[in-house]
């Protein structure tokens, strides 16, 4: 995927998830199937994942180079990244502490949805500050997947929203 496709999919997947959660009534929003995360907690988890990413990408490029080494390999494809992530989950991988959501009340729904969409818009702007080549050079740490290029991190972020959207739908049935 190129930058435009990344930005389009980021926006599309997050808007779709937020739209779905927005449509839920209070009982659905706060429902927990088999001790799984509620729709509100799924939403909070996505917010918790987006926030540090936008903070990291706000750093000047020279700081990114100082903090994280340059990638020494080509970025993997979206499909390969999804496969890697699902394999980690199947092997028992779970969200680390800072990404585990707190309980979220129905009254917090709209504000949390707005915050997510705002972060996604910021993320799209930040991606536009990198060249296609730079998306494959700079790396960022992922708590489950290790070091990812920025392009791979965007692939993860795209999939992550869709993954939690599907989990939320499945948990309501």
Q: What are 2-15's pLDDT values in tens digits?
A: 999 999 999 999 99
- The reported pTM is 0.94
Query: Tokens 């700081």 belong to which residue?
Result: 63
Provide the H-helix boundaries in 31-147.
39-57, 61-67, 78-90, 109-128, 132-135
CB-based contact 46:164 (threshold 8 Å):
yes
- The fold of the 3-172 domain, in CATH, is 1.20.120
Of 101, 68, 73, nearest to 168 by C-alpha is: 101
Instruction: Give the separation between CA 137 and CA 162, rounded to whole angstroms.
Output: 26
Output the pLDDT for position 69.
84
Q: Where are the domains of the chain?
A: 3-172
pLDDT tens string 17-45: 999 999 999 999 999 998 899 999 999 99
Q: Could you report the per-residue pLDDT of 42-70, keeping only the tens digit for each?
A: 999 999 999 999 999 999 999 988 898 88
Instruction: Tell which residue, 142, 139, 132, 129, has the closest CA to residue 66.
Output: 139
pLDDT the model gives residue 46: 98
């Amino acid at each position: 995927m190129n930058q435009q496709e990344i930005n389009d999919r980021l926006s599309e997947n997050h808007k779709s998830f937020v739209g779905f959660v927005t449509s839920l009534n209070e009982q659905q929003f706060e429902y927990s199937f088999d001790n799984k995360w509620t729709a509100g907690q799924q939403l909070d988890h996505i917010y918790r994942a987006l926030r540090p990413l936008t903070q990291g990408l706000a750093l000047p490029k020279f700081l990114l180079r100082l903090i994280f080494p340059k990638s020494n390999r080509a970025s993997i494809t979206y499909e390969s990244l999804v496969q890697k992530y699902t394999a980690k989950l199947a092997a028992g991988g779970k969200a680390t502490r800072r990404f585990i959501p707190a309980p979220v009340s129905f009254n917090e729904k709209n504000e949390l949805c707005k915050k997510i969409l705002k972060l996604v818009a910021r993320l799209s702007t930040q991606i536009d500050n990198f060249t296609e080549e730079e998306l494959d050079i700079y790396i960022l740490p992922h708590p489950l997947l290790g070091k990812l290029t920025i392009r791979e991190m965007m692939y993860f972020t795209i999939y992550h929203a869709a993954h939690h959207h599907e989990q939320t739908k499945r948990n309501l049935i």
